A and B are shown apart, each in its own frame.
Chain A
Amino acid sequence: MNRRLATLFAAVLALLPAAAFGTEVHVAVAANFSAAATEIAAAFEKQTGDRAILSFGSTGQLFTQIVQGAPFEVFLAADLARPQKAIDTGLAVKGSLITYAVGRLVLFSADPGRVTGPQSLADPLPDRIAIANPLTAPYGAAAIQTLDALGLKAKLQDRLVVGQSIAQAFQFTVTGNAEMGFVAGSELLEAQGGSHWVVPEDLHAPIAQGAVLLEAGKDNAASTAFLNFLDSDGARTIIARYGYGTGVR
Protein backbone atom coordinates (compact mmCIF):
# COMPACT_ATOMS: atom_id res chain seq x y z
CA MET A 1 0.00 0.00 0.00
CA ASN A 2 2.76 2.38 1.01
CA ARG A 3 4.68 1.65 -2.11
CA ARG A 4 1.63 2.24 -4.23
CA LEU A 5 1.12 5.60 -2.53
CA ALA A 6 4.74 6.50 -3.15
CA THR A 7 4.39 5.63 -6.83
CA LEU A 8 1.30 7.76 -7.06
CA PHE A 9 3.06 10.64 -5.35
CA ALA A 10 6.01 10.38 -7.74
CA ALA A 11 3.64 10.32 -10.70
CA VAL A 12 1.89 13.46 -9.48
CA LEU A 13 5.22 15.19 -8.94
CA ALA A 14 6.32 14.26 -12.44
CA LEU A 15 3.18 15.87 -13.82
CA LEU A 16 3.78 19.19 -12.11
CA PRO A 17 5.18 21.80 -14.47
CA ALA A 18 8.80 22.64 -13.90
CA ALA A 19 7.90 26.25 -13.17
CA ALA A 20 6.18 25.23 -9.97
CA PHE A 21 9.60 24.55 -8.49
CA GLY A 22 10.79 28.13 -8.99
CA THR A 23 9.54 30.47 -6.29
CA GLU A 24 6.33 32.33 -6.86
CA VAL A 25 5.35 35.76 -5.65
CA HIS A 26 1.75 36.94 -5.59
CA VAL A 27 1.42 40.58 -6.54
CA ALA A 28 -1.66 42.80 -6.26
CA VAL A 29 -1.49 45.39 -9.05
CA ALA A 30 -3.52 48.57 -9.49
CA ALA A 31 -5.42 48.31 -12.77
CA ASN A 32 -3.69 51.27 -14.46
CA PHE A 33 -0.37 49.43 -14.17
CA SER A 34 -1.54 46.05 -15.49
CA ALA A 35 0.13 46.20 -18.90
CA ALA A 36 3.44 47.49 -17.56
CA ALA A 37 3.37 44.99 -14.68
CA THR A 38 2.83 42.10 -17.08
CA GLU A 39 5.89 43.14 -19.04
CA ILE A 40 7.92 43.65 -15.85
CA ALA A 41 6.85 40.23 -14.54
CA ALA A 42 8.10 38.61 -17.74
CA ALA A 43 11.46 40.41 -17.47
CA PHE A 44 11.62 39.49 -13.78
CA GLU A 45 11.08 35.80 -14.52
CA LYS A 46 13.69 35.87 -17.25
CA GLN A 47 16.27 37.39 -14.93
CA THR A 48 15.58 35.52 -11.68
CA GLY A 49 13.64 32.40 -12.59
CA ASP A 50 11.00 33.39 -10.06
CA ARG A 51 7.42 33.90 -11.19
CA ALA A 52 5.29 36.90 -10.32
CA ILE A 53 1.60 36.05 -10.33
CA LEU A 54 -0.42 39.22 -10.89
CA SER A 55 -3.91 40.11 -9.72
CA PHE A 56 -5.54 43.31 -10.95
CA GLY A 57 -8.14 45.61 -9.42
CA SER A 58 -8.63 49.16 -8.28
CA THR A 59 -6.32 50.22 -5.47
CA GLY A 60 -9.23 50.39 -3.03
CA GLN A 61 -10.56 46.96 -4.02
CA LEU A 62 -7.15 45.37 -3.61
CA PHE A 63 -6.61 47.10 -0.29
CA THR A 64 -9.92 45.73 1.01
CA GLN A 65 -8.87 42.26 -0.08
CA ILE A 66 -5.54 42.64 1.69
CA VAL A 67 -7.30 43.75 4.88
CA GLN A 68 -9.37 40.58 4.54
CA GLY A 69 -6.28 38.40 4.42
CA ALA A 70 -5.81 37.92 0.68
CA PRO A 71 -2.54 36.05 0.13
CA PHE A 72 -0.77 38.88 -1.69
CA GLU A 73 2.91 39.40 -0.95
CA VAL A 74 3.56 42.65 -2.79
CA PHE A 75 1.10 45.50 -3.35
CA LEU A 76 1.52 47.92 -6.28
CA ALA A 77 -1.01 50.67 -5.54
CA ALA A 78 -1.94 53.76 -7.52
CA ASP A 79 -1.43 56.02 -4.52
CA LEU A 80 0.83 56.31 -1.50
CA ALA A 81 -2.02 56.53 1.00
CA ARG A 82 -3.10 52.91 0.95
CA PRO A 83 0.38 51.33 1.08
CA GLN A 84 1.12 53.68 3.98
CA LYS A 85 -2.12 52.62 5.65
CA ALA A 86 -1.08 48.99 5.18
CA ILE A 87 2.15 49.75 7.02
CA ASP A 88 0.34 51.65 9.77
CA THR A 89 -2.05 48.79 10.38
CA GLY A 90 0.70 46.18 10.47
CA LEU A 91 -0.24 44.59 7.15
CA ALA A 92 2.94 45.69 5.39
CA VAL A 93 6.61 45.81 6.30
CA LYS A 94 7.89 49.13 7.65
CA GLY A 95 10.45 50.84 5.43
CA SER A 96 9.54 48.85 2.31
CA LEU A 97 7.46 51.57 0.64
CA ILE A 98 8.84 52.87 -2.66
CA THR A 99 7.37 55.18 -5.28
CA TYR A 100 7.67 53.08 -8.40
CA ALA A 101 5.78 55.32 -10.83
CA VAL A 102 4.08 58.67 -11.17
CA GLY A 103 0.93 58.35 -13.22
CA ARG A 104 -0.47 60.74 -15.80
CA LEU A 105 -4.17 61.41 -16.18
CA VAL A 106 -5.41 61.71 -19.75
CA LEU A 107 -8.74 62.79 -21.22
CA PHE A 108 -9.40 60.35 -24.02
CA SER A 109 -12.05 59.86 -26.69
CA ALA A 110 -12.37 57.09 -29.26
CA ASP A 111 -13.45 59.74 -31.79
CA PRO A 112 -10.49 61.29 -33.59
CA GLY A 113 -10.54 65.05 -33.14
CA ARG A 114 -13.12 65.03 -30.33
CA VAL A 115 -10.65 65.86 -27.56
CA THR A 116 -8.26 68.75 -28.15
CA GLY A 117 -7.94 70.30 -24.71
CA PRO A 118 -9.88 71.27 -21.61
CA GLN A 119 -12.43 73.09 -23.77
CA SER A 120 -13.52 69.71 -25.18
CA LEU A 121 -15.19 69.05 -21.81
CA ALA A 122 -17.49 72.03 -22.11
CA ASP A 123 -18.13 72.84 -25.74
CA PRO A 124 -20.10 70.83 -26.65
CA LEU A 125 -20.82 69.07 -23.36
CA PRO A 126 -20.00 65.39 -23.73
CA ASP A 127 -22.89 62.96 -23.57
CA ARG A 128 -21.11 60.80 -21.00
CA ILE A 129 -17.71 60.97 -19.32
CA ALA A 130 -16.21 57.81 -17.87
CA ILE A 131 -14.11 58.02 -14.73
CA ALA A 132 -12.82 55.43 -12.30
CA ASN A 133 -14.60 55.22 -8.94
CA PRO A 134 -13.06 58.17 -7.06
CA LEU A 135 -13.53 56.45 -3.72
CA THR A 136 -11.46 53.40 -4.58
CA ALA A 137 -9.33 54.45 -7.57
CA PRO A 138 -6.76 57.26 -7.28
CA TYR A 139 -7.13 58.08 -10.98
CA GLY A 140 -10.84 58.61 -10.37
CA ALA A 141 -10.06 60.96 -7.50
CA ALA A 142 -7.62 62.86 -9.75
CA ALA A 143 -10.32 63.13 -12.43
CA ILE A 144 -12.75 64.71 -9.95
CA GLN A 145 -10.02 67.12 -8.78
CA THR A 146 -9.39 68.09 -12.39
CA LEU A 147 -13.07 68.79 -13.09
CA ASP A 148 -13.16 70.80 -9.88
CA ALA A 149 -10.08 72.80 -10.87
CA LEU A 150 -11.62 73.53 -14.27
CA GLY A 151 -14.84 74.66 -12.60
CA LEU A 152 -16.81 72.00 -14.49
CA LYS A 153 -17.68 69.58 -11.70
CA ALA A 154 -21.25 70.77 -11.11
CA LYS A 155 -21.95 71.00 -14.82
CA LEU A 156 -20.74 67.49 -15.59
CA GLN A 157 -21.76 65.70 -12.38
CA ASP A 158 -24.76 63.91 -13.87
CA ARG A 159 -22.90 62.94 -17.04
CA LEU A 160 -20.34 60.86 -15.22
CA VAL A 161 -20.29 57.10 -15.58
CA VAL A 162 -18.18 55.33 -13.03
CA GLY A 163 -16.01 52.30 -13.73
CA GLN A 164 -14.95 49.94 -10.97
CA SER A 165 -11.35 50.64 -11.86
CA ILE A 166 -9.49 52.80 -14.35
CA ALA A 167 -9.45 49.77 -16.66
CA GLN A 168 -13.26 49.76 -16.82
CA ALA A 169 -13.36 53.53 -17.37
CA PHE A 170 -10.98 53.00 -20.29
CA GLN A 171 -13.08 50.15 -21.65
CA PHE A 172 -16.28 52.29 -21.46
CA THR A 173 -14.45 54.95 -23.47
CA VAL A 174 -12.64 52.83 -26.01
CA THR A 175 -15.90 51.04 -26.94
CA GLY A 176 -17.44 54.46 -27.54
CA ASN A 177 -20.19 53.92 -24.97
CA ALA A 178 -18.85 56.98 -23.16
CA GLU A 179 -18.02 59.89 -25.44
CA MET A 180 -14.85 60.56 -23.48
CA GLY A 181 -13.18 59.41 -20.32
CA PHE A 182 -10.43 60.19 -17.86
CA VAL A 183 -8.02 57.28 -18.24
CA ALA A 184 -4.47 56.46 -17.28
CA GLY A 185 -1.75 57.61 -19.67
CA SER A 186 -0.39 54.06 -19.64
CA GLU A 187 -3.61 52.81 -21.25
CA LEU A 188 -3.19 55.01 -24.31
CA LEU A 189 -0.62 52.54 -25.60
CA GLU A 190 -3.46 50.05 -26.06
CA ALA A 191 -5.73 52.52 -27.84
CA GLN A 192 -5.56 52.88 -31.57
CA GLY A 193 -6.57 56.23 -32.92
CA GLY A 194 -8.94 58.47 -31.04
CA SER A 195 -7.91 61.74 -29.53
CA HIS A 196 -6.59 62.76 -26.16
CA TRP A 197 -5.40 65.58 -23.94
CA VAL A 198 -2.79 64.98 -21.28
CA VAL A 199 -4.10 66.68 -18.15
CA PRO A 200 -1.52 69.13 -16.77
CA GLU A 201 -0.21 67.94 -13.43
CA ASP A 202 -1.14 71.15 -11.64
CA LEU A 203 -4.86 70.36 -12.04
CA HIS A 204 -4.78 67.44 -9.60
CA ALA A 205 -2.71 66.06 -6.74
CA PRO A 206 0.22 64.05 -8.11
CA ILE A 207 -0.57 60.40 -8.76
CA ALA A 208 2.46 58.97 -6.98
CA GLN A 209 2.14 55.19 -7.02
CA GLY A 210 3.57 53.29 -4.07
CA ALA A 211 4.66 49.67 -3.79
CA VAL A 212 5.02 47.90 -0.50
CA LEU A 213 6.11 44.50 0.83
CA LEU A 214 3.18 42.85 2.58
CA GLU A 215 3.49 40.78 5.77
CA ALA A 216 2.51 37.63 3.88
CA GLY A 217 5.60 38.05 1.66
CA LYS A 218 8.06 38.95 4.40
CA ASP A 219 9.75 35.55 4.41
CA ASN A 220 9.58 34.96 0.67
CA ALA A 221 12.87 35.98 -0.93
CA ALA A 222 11.10 36.30 -4.28
CA SER A 223 8.89 39.08 -2.87
CA THR A 224 11.88 41.22 -1.95
CA ALA A 225 13.52 40.33 -5.23
CA PHE A 226 10.45 41.53 -7.12
CA LEU A 227 10.37 44.84 -5.25
CA ASN A 228 14.09 45.33 -5.91
CA PHE A 229 13.56 44.50 -9.56
CA LEU A 230 10.74 47.05 -9.74
CA ASP A 231 13.21 49.66 -8.56
CA SER A 232 15.91 48.60 -11.05
CA ASP A 233 16.89 50.44 -14.22
CA GLY A 234 15.46 47.63 -16.34
CA ALA A 235 12.01 47.99 -14.84
CA ARG A 236 12.21 51.78 -14.86
CA THR A 237 12.81 51.74 -18.60
CA ILE A 238 9.63 49.70 -19.06
CA ILE A 239 7.71 51.97 -16.68
CA ALA A 240 8.83 55.10 -18.52
CA ARG A 241 7.83 53.56 -21.85
CA TYR A 242 4.26 53.28 -20.57
CA GLY A 243 4.20 57.01 -20.02
CA TYR A 244 4.87 57.13 -16.30
CA GLY A 245 7.26 59.36 -14.48
CA THR A 246 9.50 57.27 -12.27
CA GLY A 247 9.71 59.42 -9.17
CA VAL A 248 12.79 60.14 -7.14
CA ARG A 249 14.96 57.27 -6.09
Chain B
Amino acid sequence: MSDLAELWPPVALTLGLAAVTTLVLLVLGTPLAWWLARSRTRGKEIVAAIVALPLVLPPTVLGFYLLIALGPSGPGGLVAGLYGARSLAFSFEGLVIGSVIYSLPFVVQPIRNAFESFGERPLEAAATLRAGPVDRFFSVALPLARPGLMTGAVLGFAHTVGEFGVVLMIGGNIPGRTRVLSIAIYDYVEQLEWGKAHMLSAGLLVFAFLVILATMLLERRMRLRVH
Protein backbone atom coordinates (compact mmCIF):
# COMPACT_ATOMS: atom_id res chain seq x y z
CA MET B 1 0.00 0.00 0.00
CA SER B 2 2.90 2.34 0.76
CA ASP B 3 3.71 1.99 -2.91
CA LEU B 4 0.52 3.83 -3.76
CA ALA B 5 1.57 6.79 -1.64
CA GLU B 6 3.96 7.77 -4.43
CA LEU B 7 0.98 8.40 -6.70
CA TRP B 8 -0.17 11.40 -4.69
CA PRO B 9 2.73 13.90 -5.10
CA PRO B 10 2.41 14.11 -8.91
CA VAL B 11 -1.35 14.67 -8.54
CA ALA B 12 -0.87 17.42 -5.96
CA LEU B 13 1.88 19.06 -8.00
CA THR B 14 -0.22 18.97 -11.16
CA LEU B 15 -3.23 20.53 -9.43
CA GLY B 16 -0.97 23.23 -7.94
CA LEU B 17 0.66 23.97 -11.27
CA ALA B 18 -2.71 24.17 -13.03
CA ALA B 19 -4.14 26.45 -10.33
CA VAL B 20 -1.21 28.89 -10.39
CA THR B 21 -1.10 28.84 -14.19
CA THR B 22 -4.83 29.55 -14.44
CA LEU B 23 -4.56 32.44 -12.00
CA VAL B 24 -1.65 33.99 -13.93
CA LEU B 25 -3.49 33.43 -17.20
CA LEU B 26 -6.65 35.16 -15.95
CA VAL B 27 -4.67 38.14 -14.69
CA LEU B 28 -2.62 38.50 -17.90
CA GLY B 29 -5.14 37.11 -20.36
CA THR B 30 -8.17 39.23 -19.43
CA PRO B 31 -6.64 42.64 -20.30
CA LEU B 32 -5.10 41.10 -23.40
CA ALA B 33 -8.48 39.68 -24.47
CA TRP B 34 -10.10 43.07 -23.74
CA TRP B 35 -7.56 44.84 -25.93
CA LEU B 36 -8.01 42.27 -28.70
CA ALA B 37 -11.78 42.67 -28.51
CA ARG B 38 -11.94 46.47 -28.36
CA SER B 39 -8.88 47.87 -30.07
CA ARG B 40 -9.18 49.25 -33.56
CA THR B 41 -5.45 49.00 -34.16
CA ARG B 42 -4.71 47.36 -37.48
CA GLY B 43 -1.91 45.17 -36.13
CA LYS B 44 -4.02 43.52 -33.46
CA GLU B 45 -4.66 40.37 -35.50
CA ILE B 46 -0.91 39.88 -35.61
CA VAL B 47 -0.92 39.83 -31.82
CA ALA B 48 -3.94 37.50 -31.89
CA ALA B 49 -2.03 35.17 -34.21
CA ILE B 50 0.97 35.13 -31.87
CA VAL B 51 -1.32 34.31 -28.94
CA ALA B 52 -2.79 31.42 -30.94
CA LEU B 53 0.60 29.98 -31.96
CA PRO B 54 0.71 27.28 -29.24
CA LEU B 55 -2.41 25.75 -30.83
CA VAL B 56 -0.36 24.86 -33.87
CA LEU B 57 3.23 24.54 -32.72
CA PRO B 58 4.39 21.17 -31.45
CA PRO B 59 5.34 21.31 -27.77
CA THR B 60 8.86 20.35 -28.78
CA VAL B 61 9.31 23.73 -30.47
CA LEU B 62 8.15 25.56 -27.34
CA GLY B 63 10.22 23.26 -25.14
CA PHE B 64 13.33 23.82 -27.22
CA TYR B 65 13.05 27.62 -27.18
CA LEU B 66 12.12 27.62 -23.50
CA LEU B 67 15.12 25.48 -22.61
CA ILE B 68 17.37 28.08 -24.21
CA ALA B 69 15.45 31.07 -22.85
CA LEU B 70 15.31 29.75 -19.29
CA GLY B 71 18.96 28.71 -19.25
CA PRO B 72 22.12 30.57 -18.23
CA SER B 73 22.52 32.28 -21.60
CA GLY B 74 18.88 33.44 -21.75
CA PRO B 75 16.74 35.89 -19.75
CA GLY B 76 15.66 33.06 -17.43
CA GLY B 77 19.25 32.64 -16.29
CA LEU B 78 19.40 36.32 -15.31
CA VAL B 79 16.27 35.99 -13.18
CA ALA B 80 17.48 32.71 -11.69
CA GLY B 81 20.79 34.40 -10.87
CA LEU B 82 18.94 36.79 -8.53
CA TYR B 83 18.37 33.94 -6.13
CA GLY B 84 21.59 32.06 -6.80
CA ALA B 85 20.34 29.49 -9.28
CA ARG B 86 21.67 29.22 -12.82
CA SER B 87 18.53 28.32 -14.73
CA LEU B 88 14.76 28.55 -14.42
CA ALA B 89 14.45 25.15 -16.08
CA PHE B 90 13.82 22.25 -13.69
CA SER B 91 11.85 24.50 -11.33
CA PHE B 92 8.17 24.99 -10.55
CA GLU B 93 8.48 28.61 -11.72
CA GLY B 94 9.89 27.42 -15.04
CA LEU B 95 6.94 25.08 -15.49
CA VAL B 96 4.52 27.93 -14.74
CA ILE B 97 6.17 30.06 -17.45
CA GLY B 98 5.97 27.19 -19.93
CA SER B 99 2.37 26.37 -19.03
CA VAL B 100 1.23 30.00 -19.26
CA ILE B 101 2.57 30.24 -22.81
CA TYR B 102 1.24 26.82 -23.76
CA SER B 103 -2.29 27.41 -22.44
CA LEU B 104 -2.57 31.11 -23.36
CA PRO B 105 -4.90 30.70 -26.38
CA PHE B 106 -7.25 28.46 -24.41
CA VAL B 107 -7.89 31.28 -21.96
CA VAL B 108 -7.65 34.38 -24.16
CA GLN B 109 -9.91 33.18 -26.96
CA PRO B 110 -13.07 32.46 -24.92
CA ILE B 111 -12.67 35.71 -22.96
CA ARG B 112 -12.17 37.69 -26.15
CA ASN B 113 -15.27 36.08 -27.64
CA ALA B 114 -17.24 37.01 -24.54
CA PHE B 115 -16.08 40.64 -24.68
CA GLU B 116 -17.05 40.81 -28.35
CA SER B 117 -20.41 39.13 -27.89
CA PHE B 118 -22.20 41.91 -25.99
CA GLY B 119 -21.19 44.65 -28.38
CA GLU B 120 -20.90 48.41 -27.72
CA ARG B 121 -24.32 49.13 -26.27
CA PRO B 122 -23.93 48.19 -22.60
CA LEU B 123 -20.68 50.14 -22.50
CA GLU B 124 -22.20 53.19 -24.21
CA ALA B 125 -25.11 53.06 -21.79
CA ALA B 126 -22.68 52.98 -18.88
CA ALA B 127 -20.74 55.87 -20.37
CA THR B 128 -23.87 58.01 -20.56
CA LEU B 129 -24.28 57.27 -16.86
CA ARG B 130 -20.83 58.84 -16.45
CA ALA B 131 -18.99 55.60 -15.70
CA GLY B 132 -15.26 56.03 -16.48
CA PRO B 133 -13.35 53.50 -18.62
CA VAL B 134 -12.02 51.60 -15.59
CA ASP B 135 -15.44 51.53 -13.97
CA ARG B 136 -17.02 50.36 -17.25
CA PHE B 137 -14.53 47.54 -17.47
CA PHE B 138 -15.00 46.30 -13.92
CA SER B 139 -18.70 46.83 -13.36
CA VAL B 140 -20.09 46.25 -16.85
CA ALA B 141 -17.71 44.33 -19.10
CA LEU B 142 -16.36 41.82 -16.61
CA PRO B 143 -19.74 40.70 -15.22
CA LEU B 144 -21.14 40.40 -18.74
CA ALA B 145 -18.13 38.33 -19.81
CA ARG B 146 -18.48 35.90 -16.91
CA PRO B 147 -19.33 32.85 -19.06
CA GLY B 148 -16.21 33.47 -21.14
CA LEU B 149 -14.07 33.91 -18.04
CA MET B 150 -15.42 30.66 -16.61
CA THR B 151 -14.83 28.75 -19.84
CA GLY B 152 -11.34 30.23 -20.17
CA ALA B 153 -10.44 29.31 -16.61
CA VAL B 154 -11.73 25.75 -16.94
CA LEU B 155 -10.00 25.20 -20.29
CA GLY B 156 -6.74 26.76 -19.09
CA PHE B 157 -6.76 24.60 -15.98
CA ALA B 158 -7.61 21.42 -17.87
CA HIS B 159 -5.12 22.06 -20.64
CA THR B 160 -2.34 22.57 -18.08
CA VAL B 161 -3.26 19.33 -16.34
CA GLY B 162 -2.96 17.59 -19.71
CA GLU B 163 0.37 19.16 -20.62
CA PHE B 164 3.20 16.77 -21.44
CA GLY B 165 5.70 17.66 -24.12
CA VAL B 166 6.85 21.02 -22.78
CA VAL B 167 7.28 19.65 -19.26
CA LEU B 168 9.16 16.64 -20.60
CA MET B 169 11.65 18.98 -22.22
CA ILE B 170 12.19 21.55 -19.47
CA GLY B 171 11.14 19.72 -16.30
CA GLY B 172 13.94 17.32 -15.43
CA ASN B 173 11.49 14.94 -13.74
CA ILE B 174 12.09 16.06 -10.14
CA PRO B 175 9.67 14.42 -7.68
CA GLY B 176 7.47 17.01 -5.99
CA ARG B 177 8.75 19.88 -8.12
CA THR B 178 8.49 19.07 -11.80
CA ARG B 179 7.30 15.47 -11.96
CA VAL B 180 3.71 16.13 -13.00
CA LEU B 181 0.98 13.56 -13.67
CA SER B 182 1.56 13.08 -17.37
CA ILE B 183 5.30 12.56 -16.81
CA ALA B 184 4.64 10.10 -13.97
CA ILE B 185 2.33 8.11 -16.24
CA TYR B 186 4.92 8.13 -19.02
CA ASP B 187 7.56 6.87 -16.58
CA TYR B 188 5.35 4.09 -15.26
CA VAL B 189 4.57 2.94 -18.80
CA GLU B 190 8.26 2.99 -19.74
CA GLN B 191 9.13 0.99 -16.63
CA LEU B 192 6.35 -1.53 -17.33
CA GLU B 193 4.62 -0.57 -14.05
CA TRP B 194 1.24 -0.67 -15.65
CA GLY B 195 -0.81 -0.97 -12.46
CA LYS B 196 0.17 2.55 -11.43
CA ALA B 197 -0.07 3.84 -14.99
CA HIS B 198 -3.63 2.48 -15.13
CA MET B 199 -4.67 4.15 -11.90
CA LEU B 200 -3.38 7.59 -12.86
CA SER B 201 -4.63 7.32 -16.43
CA ALA B 202 -8.13 6.28 -15.39
CA GLY B 203 -8.20 9.19 -12.97
CA LEU B 204 -7.25 11.63 -15.73
CA LEU B 205 -9.82 10.10 -18.06
CA VAL B 206 -12.61 10.69 -15.56
CA PHE B 207 -11.27 14.19 -14.84
CA ALA B 208 -11.19 15.11 -18.53
CA PHE B 209 -14.73 13.83 -19.05
CA LEU B 210 -16.06 15.76 -16.05
CA VAL B 211 -14.33 18.96 -17.19
CA ILE B 212 -15.77 18.77 -20.69
CA LEU B 213 -19.21 17.90 -19.37
CA ALA B 214 -19.06 20.74 -16.85
CA THR B 215 -18.05 23.28 -19.50
CA MET B 216 -20.90 22.21 -21.73
CA LEU B 217 -23.49 22.34 -18.94
CA LEU B 218 -22.13 25.65 -17.72
CA GLU B 219 -22.31 27.15 -21.17
CA ARG B 220 -25.87 25.98 -21.62
CA ARG B 221 -26.99 27.38 -18.30
CA MET B 222 -25.36 30.72 -19.02
CA ARG B 223 -26.94 30.89 -22.44
CA LEU B 224 -30.37 30.12 -21.01
CA ARG B 225 -29.96 32.86 -18.45
CA VAL B 226 -29.07 35.42 -21.09
CA HIS B 227 -32.15 34.70 -23.20
Shortest distance between the CB of A166 and any CB in chain B (Å): 14
Contact of A128 with B189 at beta-carbon distance under 8 Å, contacts A176-B72, A177-B72 already known: no
Residues of B with C-beta under 8 A to A177: 67, 70-72, 86-87, 89-90
In the assembled complex, A136 has its CB within 8 A of some CB on chain B = yes
Complex contacts, B77 vs chain A, CB 8 Å: 176
Per-position 1/0 for A170-192, Cβ under 8 A of B: 01100111110000000000000
Contact A162 B73 (CB under 8 A): no
Cβ of B174 within 8 Å of any chain A Cβ, yes or no, is: yes
Provide the A46-75 mask, 1 if CB < 8 A to any CB of B, else 0.
Answer: 000000000000101100100100000000
CB-based contact B172/A67 at 8 Å: no
A164 touches B168 (CB 8 A): yes
Set of chain A residues within 8 Å of B173, measured between Cβ atoms: 133, 161-164
Q: How many residues of A contact B (CB 8 A)?
A: 24
The 8 Å CB contact of B191, one of A136, A160, A176, is A136
A240 proximal to B (CB < 8 A): no
Bound Cα distance A133, B186 (Å): 12
- A sample of 25 inter-chain contacts (CB < 8 A) reads A60-B191, A64-B189, A64-B190, A64-B191, A67-B192, A128-B86, A128-B90, A130-B172, A133-B173, A133-B190, A135-B187, A135-B191, A136-B190, A161-B172, A161-B173, A162-B172, A162-B174, A164-B168, A164-B190, A172-B172, A175-B68, A177-B67, A177-B70, A177-B71, A178-B172
In addition to A136-B190, A162-B173, A175-B71, 18 A-B residue pairs with Cβ atoms within 8 Å of each other are A60-B191, A64-B190, A64-B192, A67-B192, A127-B85, A127-B86, A127-B87, A128-B86, A128-B87, A128-B90, A128-B172, A130-B172, A135-B187, A162-B174, A164-B190, A172-B90, A175-B67, A176-B72
Across the A-B interface, the 10 shortest Cβ-Cβ residue pairs: A161-B172, A162-B173, A176-B72, A177-B87, A177-B89, A177-B71, A161-B90, A61-B190, A127-B86, A135-B191
Chain B interface residues toward A at CB < 8 A = 67-68, 70-73, 77, 85-87, 89-90, 168, 172-174, 187, 189-192
